[in-house]
Structure 1
Amino acid sequence: MAAPGVLSRCIVSPAGKHTASVIFLHGSGDSGQGIKSWIREILKQDLAFKHIKVIFPTAPAQPYSPMLGEMSNVWFDRYKISMECCENLDSIDSMCHVLTNLIQEEVKSGISKNRIILGGFSMGGAMAMHLAYRYNKDLAGVFALSSFLNKDSEVYQKIKEAKCRPPELFQCHGRADTLVLHKWGEETNTLLKSVGVATAFHSFPNLYHELNLQELEMLRTWILTKLPEEATASQDTKTA
């Protein structure tokens, strides 16, 4: 199914001057509003910054093979949920083009690509890695929460072929995750390191396939290290 050209989204606006952006992709079957509300429930406030706009787009409804072709809000179709399975690149690439348009909207508004971070939860994290490492290698960073790439993912080859340094990756996973196994996330991190991605793998012993407070606080800190508030020119003038 062809992806639509424009994605619905919800936004957490910066409190001050907008100088950077984060695009946060939800997991399969969810929505932008759903993950925004989930984060707010955990943090007791929105994932908000003084200078960073946070964008939560919603994936279009499309047939999803692991659900026997039922319609679901997913970023791409999978043949099955397995690290060993080959990727459905036609489906992934279709959505990469749509999400690149979302990145370009931020660029047109005055935000340079090195002031944009892309990431997500579960399938959203996998989508973010494809989008950043194959199509938008000049972003400020990537994050993947409870996510994995297929063992022979096209992402690894594209990183090896690239002549520029790939964006840094912030990756987390819960050890208790039985839906998307912890070892898949860990193996993904190891393979990304092997092709030159600067990354650390943060593991949480009692975390299932979910978000938690410590993870989100660590993510927030990492975002601020990658997208610090820009110094503004002094308004003071000297008099003769």
Structure 2
Amino acid sequence: MALLPFVDVKAQGDTRAVVVWLHGLGDSGHGFSPIVPELRLPADAGIRFLFPHAPERPVTVNGGMRMRAWYDIKTMELTSRADEEGVRESAAAVQQLLDKLISDGISSERIILAGFSQGGVIALHLLARLPYKLAGVMALSTYMCAPEKIKEEANSVNKSTPVLVAHGSQDPVVPLFAGQQAYHVLKNAGFNPSWHEYKMPHSVCAQEVADISSFIQRRLLIQAES
């Protein structure tokens, strides 16, 4: 399998940590890359950001139109919205990218995996199943694929890994209760999520950007110094 292509926002100076950030349906790695300067991270943080591009595929709910998507969406019903086969295929592709970073010398515990909407579904899927420990996971305006399988399929490697679960109370695309369900499923399965709710639609707001920046710094900078 070829490595996923990505937008690469390099660290100033030596790379000491990496954030891999997965976009939503119909977007690309370019969609979120402008957020890096908005995070106002210290200039010497040494954090590289990778924004992978999902492959193009027909999306059923959009009339079969081809677009970048981590998986097909056959229905907007939450219980069957995520095409599980496609989720697993994309999760394997993202894991291949993480594996490459690790083989290049970045410790898995210096990697944060983030995802918005569809990208968050992939991030949460991997959180429960990766064979190595991450520094953290950010699940933004998202939900969980096959939540009923998490206890059966999850390993304990990332049980203590902090997970920022963030959602807009006015989200018309992924309803608030879907994010809340993901949070509670993680909590009940023994993971370590924190809930963050914002008065916003299916998007990102200034307070969320500030909270994301704090999360990244706590996980990658403060830890490195201690």
CA contact (8 A) 1:96 1:135 kept: no
Residue 221 of structure 2 corresponds to 228
Residue 150 of structure 2 is aligned with which of 144, 147, 155? 155
**Among candidates 187, 198, 221, match of residue 193 of structure 1:** 187
Q: 2:163 aligns with which of 145, 148, 169?
A: 169
Q: Per-residue CA shift, 1:115-159, capped at 9, x if unaligned?
A: 111011111111111122223451111111100114645334323
Indicate how the Cα distance of structure 1 residues 86 and 61 shifts in structure 2: closer, same or farther if over 3 A, else same: closer
| Alignment deviations for residues 185-232 of structure 1 (CA, whole Å, 9 cap, x no partner) | 012101110111111111112x0000111101101111111112635x
3-state DSSP of counterpart to 2:80: coil
Unaligned runs of 5+ in 1: 232-240
Instruction: Give 5+ residue unaligned stretches, structure 2.
Output: none
Report the Cα distance in structure 2 between the residues aligned to 1:148 and 1:48, rounded to whole angstroms: 33
Question: Residue type matched to 1:189 in 2?
Answer: Y
Asked whether the 8 Å contact 1:83–1:151 carries over to 2, the reply is no
What is the CA–CA distance in structure 2 between the aligned matches of 1:107 and 1:44, rounded to whole Å? 24
Scaled by the length of structure 1, what TM-score is found?
A: 0.84
Taking only aligned residues, the RMSD between alpha carbons, in angstroms, comes to 2.5
Q: Which of 1 and 2 has greater Rg?
A: 1
2:68 alignment counterpart: 73
Alignment of structure 1 residues 37-186 onto 2, 5 Å: 37=34, 39=35, 43=38, 50-85=45-80, 87-150=82-145, 152-159=147-154, 162-166=155-159, 167-186=161-180
Partners in 2 of 1:81 and 1:227 — Cα distance? 36
In structure 2, the CA distance between the partners of 1:140 and 1:216, relative to structure 1 (3 Å rule), is same
> Aligned partners of 1:210 and 1:149: how far apart in 2?
18
Q: Which residue of 1 aligns with 2:14?
A: 17
Conservation of the 8 A alpha-carbon contact between 2:121 and 2:143: yes
Q: Number of residues paired by the alignment?
A: 224
Q: Secondary structure at the match of 2:157?
A: coil
Q: Deviations over 1:7-64 (max 9, x none)?
A: 2211211113211111000010000012213x269x2979986211111111010111
* Percent identity for Structure 1 against Structure 2: 28
Do residues 33 (structure 1) and 30 (structure 2) align? yes
Paired amino acid for 2:218: T
Q: Is the Cα–Cα contact under 8 Å of residues 125 and 145 in structure 2 kept in the other structure?
A: no
Out of 194, 198, 219, the position equivalent to 2:212 is 219
The 8 Å contact of residues 128 and 158 in structure 2, kept in 1 or not, is answered as: no
